[in-house]
Amino acid sequence: MTSPLVLASASPFRKTLLENAGLTFDVEPAQIDERAVEAALGDLNPEDVATILAEAKAQDVSERNPGAIVIGSDQTLSLDGAIYHKPADMDEARRRLLALSGKTHDLNSAIVLAKDGETIWRHMSVARMTMRDLDPGFIGRHLSNVGDEALSSVGAYQFEGEGIQLFERIDGDYFAIIGLPMLPLLAQLRDLGAIDG
């Protein structure tokens, strides 16, 4: 009998990616304070921050789901050494897009699998995102059009929606940009015998 799968995330985008891949799984968001975990880390690089947060989520949910393979994930956005999180409001989203305009930033997407409270696999994918030069008026019209969806992304954009219009170039995996690098995840789940393959 294969182990049940649990997604330790409230993200509708991650849930949809797993559903579209035909996986059967439960959803149980982790009960951790991400900013408190991050504050305790000190000065780490953005990839390590994403991995540690993904691991904390996976282990938290794993402890309440014996025998299950729990998928934890986290994504950080880094630009010029700074780490960015989801904007709190539309004014912060506007400032975020102005800061990213004409620059290349990294989206660091971590996945961690845990079982019975122990980490059994880690993976990191980095996508380099080059935003075109954006006119402040366009940013305002864009945010007005997409509304609060802008607040659900670390970059204040929904790349899988109208946010695609903000970009000049990307280097990296589409699924990593959305927040769950699917191909390495599926390969590992097959290796573990958790899914057919």
> What are the residue numbers of the active site?
74
- Residue 13: φ, ψ to 5°: -70, -45
Cβ neighbours of 20 (radius 10 Å): 9
How far apart are alpha carbons 49 and 45 in whole angstroms?
Answer: 6
Rounded to 10 degrees, the C-alpha dihedral 16/143/156/163 comes to: 60
How far apart are alpha carbons 20 and 102 in whole angstroms?
Answer: 33
**What is the total residue count of the chain?**
197
How far apart are alpha carbons 73 and 95 in whole angstroms?
Answer: 26
Nearest to 177 by CA among 157, 193, 197: 157
Nearest to 86 by CA among 4, 163, 146, 154: 154
- Residue 131: φ, ψ to 5°: -90, 140
